[in-house]
Amino acid sequence: MKKFLWGVMTFLAIAIAGYAIVILTVADLKGHAFLGHHYLNRPIALYAHLGLGSLALMIGPFQFLKGLRTKRPMLHRWSGRLYVIFCLFSAVGGLMLALNSQQTMAKYGFIGLATVWVITTTQGYWMARAGNFSAHKNWMIRSYAATYAAVSLRFILPGQLIFGVPFETAYLVVSWACWVPNLLIAESIIRHKKFLGVPSLQP
């Protein structure tokens, strides 16, 4: 069951990341319903957010594997550094996109996500640099909870639309719902020293 849950988390992360990369490389972004205006006005921010965020999303699950940390510590360190770089640039790109959102409350939601993403990721990095690996692990759980908003968003938003919620309302809800519950779950995991049974965060 532990490996199964980790596998589901990882599969969804890779699937959503792969989907985003395909959109960036194959789709006609100029005519895209949701991304077209960003592509025309803020292409660098768009590519940084979706492209680098997708790479962080794929790297994240493997950073929690105990076997990688103990048997391949250098790989863990270097892939962790890449994760941090990808998260920070993606967060800055996401912030630039959020600042140009047409819905005020949705704007605040995504600005909040970008801010939390930067804080949790940088804290995780500095805890590792300081040699406080217990705190490092906790902050990286929070960081990946923010990163995983990419997965949550792509389930919550379509789900609302399927049930007939107007897009404006659904977009407002998802701007908060894609990351706040993730962080609450992360805090529960940290406080109870569990990860829903996933072996990667076992001591």
What gap in Å lies between CA 117 and CA 100, rounded to an integer?
19
Query: pTM (2 decimals)?
Result: 0.89
Q: What is the pLDDT of residues 76-120, one digit of tens each?
A: 999 999 999 999 999 999 999 999 887 778 899 999 999 999 999
Q: What is the pLDDT of residues 29-77, one digit of tens each?
A: 777 767 777 888 889 999 999 999 999 999 999 999 988 888 999 999 9
- Asked if 198 and 9 count as a contact pair (C-beta separation under 8 A), the reply is yes
- Asked if 165 and 139 count as a contact pair (C-beta separation under 8 A), the reply is no
Q: Tokens standing for 23?
A: 């959109």
Amino acid 111 reads: I
Rounded to the nearest 5 percent, the helix, strand and coil shares of the chain are 85, 0, 15
